[in-house]
């Protein structure tokens, strides 16, 4: 299923995988998805042996996408998750054939994700007919996002900003974009307590970005730079997007939007796109529960990142590290010369 034909897919939920391109600034476009993880979910379920149940581990968004696809396809699905928001848990159970296995948070290497993987393996040992879709290492995941990159290439995008969880969506979009615009840049946005780009593991408030393990899909060489944001910046800028733009985003989208707006202002000749992977209804009782409270951000840290040469032991609210794939040459003329 490609982005262009998703709305015509025989399963109605496919319409929620279609992104909307929204103008957010003079040189900034938002790629707004109702639920981006539906793109790989369709591919993963279609690739599984017919008639078999599905099993996967997820912090929520992929769980929701797989639950929707399996419900529409009449397939049972077992989802191994951390403790979820009550509204999301009710949503998942409403599909009827969804089995939820909740793994409590643990203070151990690899955190909840490593614990969930052990539980998943135990379930598979007793139910070998289940098909594990392996979202953290399955090449179908980035492949499902490549048509999105082609869509951005047709729109003249030179730079993509995306939050990173497994790397699948960001890398797939970049691959599709660079097939047509090889010097396009990819900027990753991560959490401070995430191991993806070399920082130490630690507790994280928001699901959907960051990781306690390094997924098999992650290829750091795909990225040109990485930004680390604190929880408090993410919370505030995501709420600000609702107040200022009317966009009810999740934390992954809010984080990407914050970095993209800064980067677009710094590089006015570059057409930037930020990935907004889901709507924020899931977070109304958590991230948005503090809505209306005054901002407490320190301008010194919230307005621009601290440049670092390597992951630091301490942490400011916002840090950036360059991962130079190509020199920064972004004028239209330079891009045309390169292509």
Residue 175's CB is within 10 A of a number of other CB atoms, namely 18
Query: Which band of pLDDT confidence, cut at 50, 70 and 90, is reported for residue 158?
Result: very high
User: What is the number of residues in the chain?
Assistant: 339
Q: What is the mean pLDDT of residues 145-163?
A: 96
- Is the Cβ–Cβ distance between 31 and 274 less than 8 Å? yes
Task: Name the residue with higher pLDDT: 290 or 272.
Answer: 272
Write down the domain spans for the chain.
Answer: 6-35+139-333, 38-132
Q: 6-35+139-333 with 38-132: one CATH topology?
A: yes
Asked if residue 14 has pLDDT above 80, the reply is: no
What does the pLDDT read at residue 313?
A: 79
Residue 50's CB is within 10 A of a number of other CB atoms, namely 7
Asked if residue 77 has pLDDT above 80, the reply is: yes
Asked if residue 333 has pLDDT above 60, the reply is: no
What does the pLDDT read at residue 295?
A: 47
Query: Which band of pLDDT confidence, cut at 50, 70 and 90, is reported for residue 294?
Result: very low
Picking from 215-224, 225-234, 270-279, 312-321, which range would have the lowest pLDDT averaged per residue? Answer: 312-321
What does the pLDDT read at residue 335?
A: 40
Q: What is the mean pLDDT of residues 91-106?
A: 90
Residue 248: C-alpha distances to residues 25, 117, 243 (Å): 18, 31, 9
Q: What is the mean pLDDT of residues 239-246?
A: 90
Residue 104: C-alpha distances to residues 112, 115, 116, 146 (Å): 7, 9, 9, 35
Asked if residue 338 has pLDDT above 70, the reply is: no
Picking from 27-31, 295-299, 311-315, which range would have the lowest pLDDT averaged per residue? Answer: 295-299
Between CA 338 and CA 181 the distance in angstroms is 9
Fold for the domain defined by 6-35+139-333: Rossmann fold (3.40.50)
Query: Which band of pLDDT confidence, cut at 50, 70 and 90, is reported for residue 15?
Result: confident
Q: What is the mean pLDDT of residues 152-172?
A: 96
pTM of the predicted model as reported, rounded to 2 decimal places: 0.90
Terminal-to-terminal C-alpha distance of the chain: 29
Considering the four listed CATH numbers 3.40.50.2300, 3.40.1170.60, 3.40.50.1100, 3.40.50.720, the one that applies to the domain covering 38-132 is 3.40.50.1100
Mean pLDDT of the residues in the chain: 87
């Amino acid at each position: 299923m490609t982005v262009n034909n998703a709305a015509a897919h025989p399963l109605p939920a496919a319409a929620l995988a279609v992104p909307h391109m929204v103008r957010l600034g003079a040189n900034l476009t938002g790629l707004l998805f109702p639920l981006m993880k539906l793109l790989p979910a369709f591919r993963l379920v279609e690739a599984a042996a017919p008639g078999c149940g599905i099993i996967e581990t997820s912090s929520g968004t992929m769980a929701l996408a797989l639950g929707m696809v399996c419900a529409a396809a009449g397939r049972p699905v077992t989802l191994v998750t951390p403790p979820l928001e009550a509204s999301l848990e009710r949503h998942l159970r409403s599909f009827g054939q969804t089995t939820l296995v909740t793994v409590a948070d643990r203070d151990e290497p690899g955190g909840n994700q490593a614990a969930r993987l052990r539980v998943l393996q135990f379930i598979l040992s007793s139910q070998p007919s289940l098909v594990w879709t392996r979202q953290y290492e399955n090449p179908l995941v980035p492949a499902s996002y490549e048509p999105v990159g082609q869509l951005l290439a047709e729109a003249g995008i030179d730079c993509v900003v995306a939050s990173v969880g497994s790397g699948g969506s960001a890398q797939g979009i970049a691959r599709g974009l660079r097939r047509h615009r090889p010097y396009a840049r990819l900027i990753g946005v991560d959490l401070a307590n995430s191991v993806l780009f070399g920082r130490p593991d630690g507790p994280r408030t928001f699901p959907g970005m960051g990781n306690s393990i390094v997924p098999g899909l992650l290829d750091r060489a795909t990225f040109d730079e990485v930004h680390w944001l604190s929880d408090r910046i993410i919370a505030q800028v995501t709420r600000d997007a609702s107040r200022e733009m009317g966009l009810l985003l999740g934390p992954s989208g809010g984080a990407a939007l914050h970095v993209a707006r800064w980067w677009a202002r710094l590089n006015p000749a570059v057409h930037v796109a930020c990935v907004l992977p889901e709507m924020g209804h899931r977070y109304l009782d958590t991230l948005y529960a503090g809505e209306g409270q005054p901002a407490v951000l320190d301008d010194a840290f919230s307005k621009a990142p601290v440049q670092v040469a390597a992951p630091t032991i301490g942490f400011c609210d916002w840090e950036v590290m360059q991962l130079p794939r190509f020199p920064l040459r972004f004028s239209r003329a330079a891009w045309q010369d390169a292509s």
